[in-house]
A and B are shown apart, each in its own frame.
Chain A
């Protein structure tokens, strides 16, 4: 590989990452701005964080969002894992095409359509809009993402592990719980995290399906953003970013540690 190419590579990566991260960095920086004008630096201050915690509406929304996130992610993980199993293990059953279509379509379906259609369903069956409806909507959306994550793990799953377990006398259901589930657990966990984050993040579907008393954080932020950019929103966003970033970083460091340990083990094993 010659040096101009690799210089080009480095430049494109640096510029690309600058583009991805600069807006977020600026947002975080200006959340510590003394001035009320978001774009003019008026000195360092944490006052917006203080006022944030006194904003009851925002705090309520955070609590709603957290509960919706945990419940919907958990249910979605169960349903999504079942869907992934269906997709990888049952290759011939009536309606398989429809099923895989229903799993993959929500991944790219414009949110306005999903949101509107779910709302109309809830109205049609006479379900009052609120906490329950947002949660149901989020389960439907995020289970498809979980299904894709778990499915990609199941595809590379060595089926001979299951055959070995059955060969040694474990019936199918027992084999699933003792062998399959523990082996694909990391994928299920990352599916849960993805589902939780998507739920935390969603504005459009929540706006359609939520009702009074179940305002989620993105809805709250959106309604304030429409009124103008304020350092307080910057502060709220910074906290959200921090929470997610810390979670992701811890997860990936733990993952990396395990990976390194594993490599060391493997090297040790090769030496005898």
Chain B
């Protein structure tokens, strides 16, 4: 994470003087207010999650016994540290269910990300090559579903995918199949749901990197004897890589912890970690275990999130 600061900091000396001139109360306020807010509502909660993941489960409200507190002063704090227990983590390793859920989530998110890229790339490419006059409209059409409820869009697929749903009706009517396909409550339904819901997140960064590209590069490649398909793989695709990376991370990271899609489309048989956490919390009311699940999930996602941050910082530098 230190590199981010290094890339974000240089070449800004010229900009800092007005800032310097007004140092003092107002400037401090600008930094401090959002800083404190995020510290308290974003960072501190993670520490609490970590702390509770090391607590004992208890049947009470809240359903855990806190271990570390400052009520008894410093000595109490150290007494608490001695009592820390990693039972919840041990529990996670003992029950194969959790391990499977993590692995399945990563695999599903990975496959879905690739599928989204395959579906999204031609769309983004077509948009970037569309006449400049209709590009803003196309862009708006991609963004528009994003403004409508995620839940609703996932819900809409239930009616399409279920055994007596529209897809099966159409396929049966056209005679393509004789038996209704079972799609709902399978992993296939989850793939469809993720690709559908996250498509705009893939298309937008792809589009913005493809749109920036100078088309005369392709013409130059063709002029130098490169056939269109070759020109695509040798010129277009490499130049769109920043968009590909950004899009994939924007899809992959949230997809790993996705809850709504596996819950509504995947049924009870499918195993994903977001759903496991939800069930552990709401059905089993086991807060320490669900906290431990969250801590591990966060650790798993640390690397992709750091990649994402780096990509963000880079994009920010380039747009300057």
Contact = CB atoms under 8 A, between A and B. Distances in A.
- The answer to whether A and B touch in the complex, with CB atoms under 8 Å apart, is yes
A83 interface: yes
B90 interface: no
Contacts of B165: 39
A121 interface: yes
Interface stretch (B74-82, B91-99, B148-156, B237-245): B148-156
B65 interface: no
A86 B32 CA distance: 9
A117 B152 contact: no
Contacts of A201: 149-151
Contacts of A12: 122-123, 125-126
B148 A105 contact: no
Contacts of A2: 228
A100 interface: yes
Interface of A is mostly: helix
Interface string B280-302: 01100001001100100110010
A9 B148 contact: no
A204 interface: yes
B22 A173 contact: yes
Contacts of B160: 23, 26
B38 A140 contact: yes
Contact of A120 (B42, B48, B142, B278): B48
A155 B320 contact: yes
A140 B42 contact: yes
Contacts of B125: 9, 12
B291 A245 contact: no
A189 B7 CA distance: 30
A136 B130 CA distance: 43
A89 interface: yes
B309 to A, nearest CB: 5
Contacts of B52: 120
Interface of B is mostly: helix
Interface size class of B (residues with CB under 8 A): 35 or more
B45 A162 contact: no
B261 to A, nearest CB: 11
A237 B152 contact: yes
A91 B298 CA distance: 28
Interface residues of A, number: 98
A252 B140 CA distance: 8
B8 A100 contact: yes
B80 to A, nearest CB: 15
Contacts of B26: 172-173
Interface in A97-123: 97-113, 116-118, 120-121, 123
Contacts of B196: 19-20, 23
Contacts, number: 278
A24 B34 contact: no
A139 B37 CA distance: 10
B136 A256 contact: yes
A184 interface: no
B41 A108 contact: no
A200 B156 contact: no
A233 interface: yes
Interface string A66-99: 0000000000000110110110011111011111
B1 A97 contact: yes
B221 interface: no
A200 B18 CA distance: 39
State the 6 A-B residue pairs at the shortest beta-carbon distance, nearest first.
Answer: A110-B257, A117-B45, A12-B122, A16-B123, A9-B126, A172-B22
Interface of B: 1-2, 4-5, 8-9, 12, 15-16, 18-19, 21-22, 26-27, 30-31, 33-35, 37-46, 48-49, 52, 62, 119-120, 122-123, 125-127, 129-130, 136, 138, 140-145, 147-153, 155-160, 162, 164-166, 169, 196, 199-200, 203, 215, 228, 249-250, 253-254, 256-260, 264, 274, 277-278, 281-282, 287, 290-291, 294, 297-298, 301, 304-305, 308-309, 312-313, 316, 319-320
30 contacts: A1-B215, A12-B125, A19-B196, A20-B141, A23-B160, A23-B196, A27-B152, A27-B159, A39-B164, A82-B33, A89-B19, A91-B12, A96-B8, A99-B34, A100-B313, A101-B4, A110-B254, A110-B258, A111-B259, A112-B257, A121-B44, A121-B48, A143-B38, A152-B319, A200-B149, A207-B282, A225-B151, A225-B158, A241-B149, A248-B147
Given A30-B159, A221-B155, A244-B147, 4 more contacts: A20-B196, A26-B160, A102-B43, A111-B274
Interface of A: 1-2, 5-6, 8-13, 16-17, 19-21, 23-24, 26-27, 30, 38-39, 79-80, 82-83, 85-86, 89-93, 95-113, 116-118, 120-121, 123-124, 136-137, 139-140, 143, 147, 151-152, 155-156, 159, 162-163, 166, 171-173, 175, 197, 200-201, 203-204, 207-208, 218, 221-222, 225, 229, 233, 237, 240-241, 244-245, 248, 252, 256
